[in-house]
Chains A and B, each alone.
Chain A
Amino acid sequence: MQYDLIVVGGGPAGMAAARAARDQGERVLLLDDNPGLGGQIWRGREDLRLEGVELGLGHTLTEWRGEAKRLILACGARELLLPFPGWTMPHVVGAGGLQALVKQGLAIQGKRVVVCGSGPLLLAVAANLRKAGAEVPRVAEQAPWEKLLTFGLGLWRWPSKIFEAVGYATSGYRAGLWPVEAWEGGVTLSDGSKINCDYVACGFGLVANGELARLLGCRMNGGLVAVDDWQRTSVEGVYAVGEMTGIGGVEKAEAEGRAAGARQRVTGNWGAFASALAKTFALREELRALATAETIVCRCEDVRWGRIATMGGKRQARLEARCGMGACQARICGPALEWMCGWGPENVRPPLFPLSVREFLRDRDEAGHPPTGHSL
């Protein structure tokens, strides 16, 4: 099938891109490995529609075969999860992760949740958990008050964000506080407080899902996809929009999606907003040293920090300790180790997500090409 445009990712950025291109009469296919539209922020919303756009939902893109004139990447971001003692216990979940699971039907009514880590997402998560009936005794933000205050005073530049911030204002919020150890039934924070809870919802900000962009050879800029004012990447015909180009939230994502879809210059000062966010919620040095020798860093292969710390670099850690060699393909430990050790980003090779041998063989086409779309 020939398309004018294929959009990868069905969150706000991808939906805006698909809609804008459709409005110009383009034939558009939108792919997402989630079963529904909306990405993470609008997960579970049932009113989302994309008429006139062909949808391929519930499919993981593993390899690009090139059947469209343009490709817009809107792959979003994932949480940065940093290893600390106890973080692999089942009651420790991502902050956005727990919110996603609640939207998937996790019963949270009456549960006690400590929300911790960094970024504006913590406030949104705490507010939503409370709305769903959870008790949130503490929201611990690692950034110091001074930085949050400076950021708050600068919000006049993005008025919609002031209302968002006020809406999320929450009791139990503390700055300059972070988790140091999780234990059965609770968590200890950096001020020594021990809090009993059913879940620890912990995320240290967001990192771009840049794997597909890197596989295609797009130039990167500090973990983000480098784009021009039209959202064009360094690769001809390939655009990137939304969190992949800078962690900045839904308005930025939609503005960039619309621009890329319509082949127009992006409007608004959302790039500056993303920079202000990054500066405000920059991680403190103490977080590099949360893991002890016994703490598992690579959760897929159970590689402990004591072993990784003896390695000269990412390659040696992979070859000798199997760090980053498991099913998530270093999506979790990779960004953590980039932060903890200053190691460079992981190399990306197809398939982008693990495939079973049976799936791999089953769908080869006449030319012997491997499959392009699969859910795992």
Chain B
Amino acid sequence: MKIRVNGQEVEVQAGMSVAAVVMNLGLAARRSVTGEPRGPVCGMGVCFECRLWVDGEGPLRSCQMPVREGMEVVTDAV
């Protein structure tokens, strides 16, 4: 299936999390309040470092979110 990450089309497998897709692309999920790039840490929904935006909604924990056909992901926005 295909999703879009920051406007780019990406081929992904069903069952992947958005967090894993973003890491595979070498992207940080978000910016911290002082501007540091941050990526997923706990992988289980407790650390909130993997927050990003999906289909205009956010910030959402991407490690708890399976990919869906056509979803629009925006990183680096928090």
Contact = CB atoms under 8 A, between A and B. Distances in A.
A94 B48 contact: no
A89 B12 CA distance: 25
Interface residues of A toward B: which range? 35 or more
A243 interface: no
B77 interface: no
A170 interface: no
A101 B64 contact: no
A93 interface: yes
Contacts of A60: 45
Contact of B63 (A91, A100, A209): A100
B64 A375 contact: yes
A26 interface: no
A376 B61 contact: yes
Interface residues of B, number: 36
A47 to B, nearest CB: 14
A90 B28 contact: yes
Contacts of B23: 101, 106
A299 B40 contact: no
A296 B35 CA distance: 12
B21 interface: yes
B44 A34 contact: yes
A301 interface: yes
A94 B51 contact: no
A33 interface: yes
A248 interface: no
B43 A97 contact: yes
Contact of A34 (B13, B24, B28, B64): B64
B21 to A, nearest CB: 7
Contact of B20 (A88, A90, A105, A300): A105
Interface in B3-53: 12-13, 15-17, 19-21, 23-24, 28, 32-34, 36-49, 51
A100 B64 contact: no
A110 to B, nearest CB: 13
Contacts of A97: 40-44, 47
Nearest to A99: B43
Chain B CB count within 10 A is highest, among A33, A35, A105, A300, for: A105
Interface in A21-50: 33-35, 40, 44
B44 A93 contact: no
Given A104-B63, A105-B12, 6 more contacts: A34-B64, A94-B47, A107-B24, A299-B41, A302-B34, A327-B59
29 contacts: A40-B44, A60-B45, A78-B44, A79-B42, A88-B32, A88-B38, A90-B37, A97-B42, A100-B43, A101-B17, A101-B19, A101-B43, A101-B63, A104-B19, A104-B63, A105-B12, A105-B20, A105-B21, A106-B20, A299-B41, A302-B32, A302-B33, A326-B48, A328-B48, A331-B46, A332-B46, A332-B47, A375-B64, A376-B61
Interface of B: 12-13, 15-17, 19-21, 23-24, 28, 32-34, 36-49, 51, 59-61, 63-66
